[in-house]
Amino acid sequence: MSIGELSDTLVWGAATAYAVAFVAFAIDLARLADARGVVARERALAKVGGGAVESAEAGVVAGADPGEPAGRRRRAAGIAMAVTVLGLGFHLVAAVLRGIAAGRVPWANMYEFTMIGTLVAVGTFVALTRWRDVRFLGSIVLGLAVLALGLAIAVFYLPADPVQPVLDSYWLVIHVSIATISSGLFTVSFAASALQLLKDSRDSGSVRVGGPRWRSLDALPPARDLEALSFRITAVGFVLWTFTIMAGAVWAEHSWGRYWGWDPKETWSFVVWVIYAAYLHARTTAGWSGRRAAWFVIIGFAAVLFNFTGVNLFFQGKHTYAEV
């Protein structure tokens, strides 16, 4: 087995581990929601009967996770995190081996960009769990990771080969790596905003999101906390995306003799920048918050996805040869 083939096998291993983690995270949310439902019912009965609720509250750990059973760890969440870290290890080694097999940095085509962007998204999620308990994001982040890696393997795959001479530049390391990191951050902020919309719709009753299928929403933090988390991650991603555009302009001048030419990739990168800039401006100065702000993040992420897939597949431009 060659180094490139070993890398491909490890990507499959990472996708499999992420799929298992996705299921485990979903089970964890469902169990948290069930535990909180028990507490709510006990409190309602206590109010009717005039009794105390200590017996119900004793089954819940105080703090950030009021739905976590006392004296019993969240086993599904622990399994999910362990499998996620295992998959992340497979993923990281696969990326390194891909670079060794190709003799360059492993982000020069759509397959590699997807592989590295997914690696950053999952890595960001794992890093955030060290700072605060954001395991509730796991089901969306890992679900997106499985879909992205499956698409990369089935549709975007290319053998590990050297890049074309025009791409053989240190700007490939700088420009594309920063774009990949920012895309990974936008993925995590999208996950938080998507959950914010569902949670807010459930709490306000403006949209019917009910029934056993949606009981996991009860285990999520308040919508305002999800919004704050999304805002902070988006702000970091926006700074990196700004640098991506600036670095791309400098590279374009070195390669093509002009900084900006409204190439489809350049144009859509600017569209992405405008959307996220409008979001940050509206939220910090115009006081936009809640669902309107969340929709901004979701629209921005949709633009990121189209910039990566639609522009590459349906438009011809100077970036087409790079398949990035």
Segments making up each domain of the chain, as ranges: 163-324
Is 69 strand, coil or helix?
strand
Question: pLDDT at position 213, please?
Answer: 55
How buried is residue 188: exposed, middle or buried, by Cβ count under 10 Å (0-12/13-18/19+)?
buried
pLDDT < 70 positions in the chain: 33-73, 166-167, 204-215, 317-324
Give Cα separations from 33 to 38, 59, 124, 193, 316 (angstroms).
9, 13, 25, 20, 49
Is 277 strand, coil or helix?
helix
Question: pLDDT at position 73, please?
Answer: 63
Any residues with CB less than 8 A from the CB of 62 and at least 6 apart, and which?
Answer: none
Any residues with CB less than 8 A from the CB of 281 and at least 6 apart, and which?
Answer: none
What is the distance between the alpha carbons of residues 180 and 175, in angstroms, rounded to a whole number? 9
Any residues with CB less than 8 A from the CB of 201 and at least 6 apart, and which?
Answer: 207, 209, 291
CB contact burial 233-249 (16+ within 10 A = b; e otherwise):
bbbebbebbebbbebbb
* Helix 223-256 / helix 291-308 crossing angle, nearest 10 deg: 30
What is the distance between the alpha carbons of residues 322 and 324, in angstroms, rounded to a whole number? 5
Residue 39's DSSP bridge partners are none
Please state the separation of Cα 175 from the chain's center in Å: 20
Question: pLDDT at position 208, please?
Answer: 59
What is the distance between the alpha carbons of residues 38 and 36, in angstroms, rounded to a whole number? 5
Are 141 and 121 in contact, with CB atoms under 8 Å apart? yes
This prediction's pTM: 0.80
What is the distance between the alpha carbons of residues 124 and 242, in angstroms, rounded to a whole number? 19
Question: pLDDT at position 180, please?
Answer: 87
Residue showing tokens 């920063």: 178
For residue 194, what are its two tokens? 């998507």
Question: pLDDT at position 176, please?
Answer: 84
Question: pLDDT at position 239, please?
Answer: 96
Question: pLDDT at position 160, please?
Answer: 86
